């Protein structure tokens, strides 16, 4: 097992190199990015021409665009230098905020992760049993009703749902149940730990509602389909024929096999956990990863863009690995060799 994981991790290295190369190419060849990246440092500051020039030079050096003497560096060399400093853990400093990229991500990641994890759990808790029941009651009222409902929810535009939630549940004219924006009340200083946690969850209730409602349809459809596939298999008929209890057949034989589909789907959605939804974060004014990536791209904040995208790529690869390992654990037919 350990040697399998180590081998897979080693195999990831060339893929990761390819990914960094593509990332570099996409970011560097987009016109305006480099120049804008340099220019927005000096913007709005009362500086002499000389100081501005110096500042730009420093930024260019930090981004590995020019060397110490101000001579431009060739693109392949830029790539290697970027790779080197990234491997050493120097992810750079944001051009937009006077802070290291890592610190920015450190601030924003917990929020996005909390919201996405809770949303994911809620979606699984509803969609998996829902899909299972729909498959068992195929073409009956529950199947039809649940299918229509989840598809209808999926079709509602998130902008509408988000702004309606705000308009009806965070509005003194209707129900002033939830806060309209932000993550904390203004008086967090005077709260004890539990009050603080309570306040936090109170603030993220509506964002979570907004990021879950559309997720049921896809997952339950897949679960339903996979269970229907398995229900038609010979070994299920055999199990039934030899008198195994219905619930045991469902859990041990059908669901166990559908677990493989679930593992794949979960693995595919893992990278999204850190990505964060720009829309939800924008509607509810939450400073998360989605908004960070969005504002960084608008501001051409090169270090932030590169880091966020790099984290996304690494995570994608890691979740493939996680899927394969889970597969091997869930399915005895898959071997590590």
The window from 76-84, 167-175, 181-189, 254-262 that contacts another protein (CB under 8 A) reads: 167-175
Q: Which helix (H) or strand (E) holds 28?
A: helix 2-29
Is the Cα dihedral 28, 14, 277, 86 positive or negative?
negative
CB 230 within 8 A of CB 257: yes
Q: What residues pair up with 66 in beta bridges, in sequence order?
A: 72
The window from 17-25, 79-87, 93-101, 323-331 that contacts another protein (CB under 8 A) reads: 17-25
Question: Interface with another protein includes 22 (CB under 8 A)?
Answer: yes
User: Is the CB of 66 or the CB of 293 nearer to another protein?
Assistant: 293
Of 2, 32, 333, 337, the one binding another protein (CB under 8 A) is 32
User: Is the CB of 215 or the CB of 271 nearer to another protein?
Assistant: 271
Of 73, 102, 133, 158, the one binding another protein (CB under 8 A) is 158
C-beta atoms surrounding 148 within 10 Å: 11
Question: Interface with another protein includes 312 (CB under 8 A)?
Answer: yes
Question: Interface with another protein includes 155 (CB under 8 A)?
Answer: yes
Question: Interface with another protein includes 171 (CB under 8 A)?
Answer: yes
Question: Interface with another protein includes 323 (CB under 8 A)?
Answer: no
Q: Which residues contact 312 (CB under 8 A, 6 or more apart)?
A: 271, 274, 275
Of 73, 282, 327, 331, the one binding another protein (CB under 8 A) is 282
Of 81, 297, 321, 328, the one binding another protein (CB under 8 A) is 297
What is the 3-class SS of 90-153, one letter each residue? CCCECCCCCCEHHHHHHHHHHHHHHHHHHHHHHHHHHHHHHHHHHHHCCCCHHHHHHHHHHHHH
Q: How far is CA 262 from CA 83, 127, 255, 273, in A?
A: 35, 11, 10, 16
Residues 184-223 that bind another protein (CB under 8 A): 217, 221
Q: Which residues bind another protein (CB under 8 A)?
A: 15, 18-19, 22-23, 26-27, 30-33, 144, 147-148, 151-152, 154-160, 163, 167, 171-173, 217, 221, 228-229, 231-232, 271, 275, 278-279, 282, 290, 293-294, 297-298, 305, 308-309, 312-313, 315-317, 320
């Amino acid at each position: 097992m350990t040697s399998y994981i180590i081998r897979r991790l080693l195999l990831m290295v060339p893929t990761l190199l390819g990914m960094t190369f593509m990332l570099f190419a996409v970011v560097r060849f987009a016109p305006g990015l480099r120049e804008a990246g340099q220019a927005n440092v000096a913007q709005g500051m009362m500086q002499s021409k000389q100081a501005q020039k110096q500042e730009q030079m420093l930024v260019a050096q930090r981004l590995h665009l020019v060397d110490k003497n101000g001579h431009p560096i060739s693109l392949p060399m830029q790539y290697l230098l970027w790779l080197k400093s990234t491997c050493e853990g120097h992810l750079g400093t944001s051009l937009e905020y006077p802070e290291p990229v890592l610190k920015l991500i450190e601030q924003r990641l917990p929020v996005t992760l909390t919201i996405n994890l809770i949303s994911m759990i809620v979606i699984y808790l509803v969609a998996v049993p829902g899909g299972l029941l729909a498959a068992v009651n195929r073409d009956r009222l529950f199947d039809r009703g649940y299918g229509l409902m989840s598809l209808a929810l999926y079709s509602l535009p998130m902008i509408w749902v988000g702004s309606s939630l705000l308009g009806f549940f965070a509005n003194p004219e209707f129900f002033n149940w939830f806060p309209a924006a932000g993550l904390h009340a203004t008086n967090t200083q005077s709260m004890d730990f539990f009050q603080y946690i309570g306040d936090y969850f109170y603030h993220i209730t509506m964002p979570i509602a907004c990021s879950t409602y559309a997720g049921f349809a896809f997952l339950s459809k897949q679960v339903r389909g996979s269970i229907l596939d398995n229900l038609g298999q010979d070994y299920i008929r055999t199990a039934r024929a030899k008198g195994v209890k219905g619930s045991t057949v469902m859990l041990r034989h059908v669901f166990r096999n559908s677990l493989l589909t679930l593992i794949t789907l979960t693995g595919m959605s893992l990278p999204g956990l850190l990505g964060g939804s720009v829309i939800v974060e924008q509607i509810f004014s939450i400073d998360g990863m989605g908004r960070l990536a969005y504002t960084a791209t608008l501001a051409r904040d090169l270090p932030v863009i590169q880091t966020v995208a790099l984290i996304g790529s690494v995570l994608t690869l890691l979740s493939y690995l996680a899927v394969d390992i889970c597969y091997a654990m869930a399915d005895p037919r898959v071997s590590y060799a």
